[in-house]
Amino acid sequence: MLTNYSRRTFLETIGLSMGASILLPASTLPDRARADRKLNVALCGLGRYANVLKRGFAESRHCRLAGIVTGTPAKAAQWQQEFKLPAQNVYTYETFDQLRNNPDIDLIYITLPNGLHKDYTIRAAQAGKHVIVEKPMAFTVPDCRAMIDACRKAGVQLAVGYRLHYEPHHIELKRLGQQKVFGPVRLIEASLGYQLAGTPPDDWHLKKAIAGGGALMNLGVYCIQSARYVLGEEPISVTAQYSPVTMPQLFREVEENITWQLTFPSGAVNTSATTANCNIDRFYASADNGFFELSPALSYGPFQGRSSQGPFNFPVVNQQAALLDDVASHILAHKPLPAHIAGEEGLKDMRVIEGIYRAADSGNKITLPPL
C-alpha cells in the first residue's frame, strides 16, 4: 500500500528508481560505488544557498567540498578553515578561469545570482569541469541552449539543481501522476510564495539585470516543474497575469506576484501563483479516481501530504545530499545524468517561463513553441 511504505521499502524503491544506490547503507553498495573515489566539487558563490548546501556535503557519500569561488575574503577564510581547503583550491571571480589548471576539482556547483548562471556555466565547461547550476538555469531558452552546447562541446556534464526530484514525497507525486495510479490527472494547483516585506531594497533578487525576473524566476520554476513531472507532459499554451504590486518601494524592476495557467496535450490544466507578498506553499492534483496533495509542498520541507487513499508517510531526506550523490555516482561511473536533472530539463522550464512572461506582458494566450 502506498500509505504504508516502510522506510526500507521506500529506500529500496527510490534506490531502484534512480538507478543509484545513493541512500543505501554503504555495506550494500556495489563494489564500484564503494571505491574510495569521491567527486571533488568547487562551490561558486557563497550566498544563502551555499550555506544550505553545507549540510548536503556533510551527508553526501560521493561528493567532497574541495574548493570555493568567492569575491569576499572573509568568506574565503571562513570556508577554507571550516572545510580544510588547501589554499590552491580557493578562487576569486578574477581567478575563476584558472580552475582549468586544477585537477583536484571535478565539478563546479554554481550558486551565483541568476544573471551569472550562463556566463559561469560556460566558463566552467571551458575549464573542463562538470557543472551543477542552480535554478533558474538562465534567463532565456537561447541562453540555456548555449550552456548545454558549451558543456557538450567541452565533454562535461551539466545538471540543474532540481532538489525535489530526490525528495520522497515528490518521487511519489511523480509516480502517482505519471503512472496514472488514480487515472489521468486533470487539474494541478501548485503555488509558492514567501512574504518578503523585510527584504533589503538592494537585494539582488529585486534587480532585473541580475535576477532576470521576480517571483516567477525564483519560485515559479518549482510550480512549473511539479506540473511537468507529475503529468509527464510538456505544456502547449499559457495565459498569465501580473497581480497588483503591494510593495512598490521594493518591486520597481521585477514582478512581485504573478498567476498563470498551463494547458497540456492531454487536456490537463495547471494553475499556479507565485508571490512575494504572502506565504503559500501547496500542491494539489485531481485525477479521475482520486487526488494527491502536499502542503507544505515546494519549499525545503519537511513536507506533509496525502492522497485519496490516506496520508503519506515518507522519511525526511537531505535533498541536497541526494542530488549531489546522484550526480556524482553518474559522473564517477561515466554515465549520462538522468533526464530529470540534465540541462535540457532546465531549458524545458525556461520555455515555459518565457511563455508566462510573454503572456503576462501581452495579456494574450501564448502558444508555446515546439521544443
DSSP-assigned beta bridge partners for residue 294: 283, 305
The span from the CA of 2 to the CA of 274, in Å, is 30
Report the residue number, 113 or 290, with the smaller CB distance to its own copies. Answer: 290
Minimum distance of its own copies from residue 102's CB (angstroms): 47
Minimum distance of its own copies from residue 174's CB (angstroms): 19
Report the residue number, 146 or 247, with the smaller CB distance to its own copies. Answer: 247
Is 135 catalytic? The answer is: yes
The span from the CA of 119 to the CA of 98, in Å, is 15
Report the residue number, 23 or 185, with the smaller CB distance to its own copies. Answer: 185
Report the residue number, 89 or 257, with the smaller CB distance to its own copies. Answer: 257
CA distance readout (Å), 238 to 117, 137, 234, 243, 260: 26, 20, 11, 16, 7
From the candidates 91, 109, 166, 222, which is the catalytic residue? Answer: 222
- Spell out the residues 6+ positions from residue 100 whose beta carbon is closer than 8 angstroms to its own: 126, 127, 128, 129
* Segments of the chain assigned E as strands: 39-44, 63-69, 90-91, 107-110, 130-133, 158-160, 185-193, 237-242, 257-263, 269-275, 280-287, 290-294, 305-307, 310-311, 366-367
Report the residue number, 204 or 242, with the smaller CB distance to its own copies. Answer: 242
Q: Angle, nearest 10°, between helix axes 141-154 and 343-362?
A: 170
- Site residues, its own copies (CB under 8 A): 186-187, 189, 191, 193, 195, 197, 239, 241, 243-246, 257, 259, 261, 263, 267, 269, 271, 273, 275, 277-280, 282, 284, 286-288, 291, 363-365
The span from the CA of 99 to the CA of 42, in Å, is 9
Report the residue number, 43 or 273, with the smaller CB distance to its own copies. Answer: 273
From the candidates 135, 174, 194, 357, which is the catalytic residue? Answer: 135
The span from the CA of 276 to the CA of 251, in Å, is 9
Minimum distance of its own copies from residue 266's CB (angstroms): 8
Three cell numbers written together for 246: 503591494
DSSP of 289-321: TEEEEESS-SSS----EEETTEE-------HHH
Backbone angles phi, psi at 76, to 5 degrees: -55, -50
The answer to whether the bond into 168 is cis (omega within 30° of 0) is no
Minimum distance of its own copies from residue 363's CB (angstroms): 6
Minimum distance of its own copies from residue 277's CB (angstroms): 5
Minimum distance of its own copies from residue 203's CB (angstroms): 19
The span from the CA of 51 to the CA of 9, in Å, is 32
- Active-site residue set: 135, 222
